[in-house]
Amino acid sequence: MDSATEITRLEATIEDQSRGVDELHDQLDELILASRKLSEENQSFGNVLAIVHGDGGHYITEHGHRKASKDAIKIINTMRMELEDKPKFVEPTEPALLEYYGRLETKIDRIIRLLAG
């Protein structure tokens, strides 16, 4: 092989490798962006867990994300069940409710008078 052919072959090899390096740089840039996004999402998720556990993130540090997540689900489900069991206050805006509360007030007043003597 003469030197001109060898130089041409080496130049082609260098050009191919340069394209490969450029592709790797592009992939690295994409990975860096994805890593930043995951980091932001992890921070947001950690903030939610810290609020649920009410500890500023100490529970996550002590037990890890997996346990903190499972326990947070238990906490939220317990809170939901407690809320569903309690009667909900309804603002008396409907005429029927206003009438009902009026009758209830009258009965309470009557009971108070009877008890007072």
Q: If the chain, 117 residues long, is cut into consecutive pieces of 10 residues, what is the mean pLDDT of each piece?
A: 83 84 90 90 86 90 90 85 68 70 77 70
pLDDT of residue 117: 60
Parent domain of 11: 3-86
Same domain, 75 and 109: no
Same domain, 10 and 67: yes
Report the alpha-carbon distance of residue 59 to residue 53 in Å, rounded.
Answer: 7
Same domain, 17 and 62: yes
Evaluate whether 74 touches 52 at the Cβ level (below 8 Å). Answer: no
Question: Tokens 């993130």 identify what position?
Answer: 57
Same domain, 46 and 97: no
Same domain, 82 and 100: no
In terms of Cα–Cα distance, which of 74, 68, 77, 78 is closest to 48? 68
Question: What is the count of structural domains for the chain?
Answer: 2
Report the alpha-carbon distance of residue 7 to residue 38 in Å, rounded.
Answer: 46
Same domain, 52 and 95: no
